[in-house]
Structure 1
Amino acid sequence: MEFKLTVTCDCGKRDELILKRTTNIYEGKVYEDFSSITDGKFKEDLFITQQNSPDEVVIECTSCGKEHNLTT
């Protein structure tokens, strides 16, 4: 499964983040299977992600500096 996050800023900049997937399987048993926003990569590098706390990620527009907080 692949997850993509589309981010559109008020200034009009738009980019797509492909979330990095980590899967750890040992002897047929799945021990980890998750996708990470902070380890993902924007296609055009128009935004930056930062982990502010264990439950919060900030996405910042590199053009205008506007920030948005995402929580789990």
Structure 2
Amino acid sequence: HTLTGHSGKVMAAKYLQEPIKVVTGSHDRTLKVWDLRSIACIETKFAGSSCNDLVTTDSLGSTIISGHYDKNYASGI
């Protein structure tokens, strides 16, 4: 299956909720949450700059921290 929706290269991806979902970060300056059962994007957040890494605080993905090329970070989605 292919997750289609980012307009730029995907630089980071992490499983959420015991791999029911995936969060991706891209050069298009967005973070997207994907439902792997329906193969659909269920949430998009504008990040402000290109994402280069993602970290989750637990297996449920209750907090997502994204690192960016402009040396900033953001938490939550």
Identify, as 1 or 2, the structure richer in strand. Answer: 1
Structure (1 or 2) with the larger CA radius of gyration: 1
TM range (shorter): 0.3 to 0.5
Which TM-score applies when normalising by structure 2?
0.36
Which TM-score applies when normalising by structure 1?
0.37
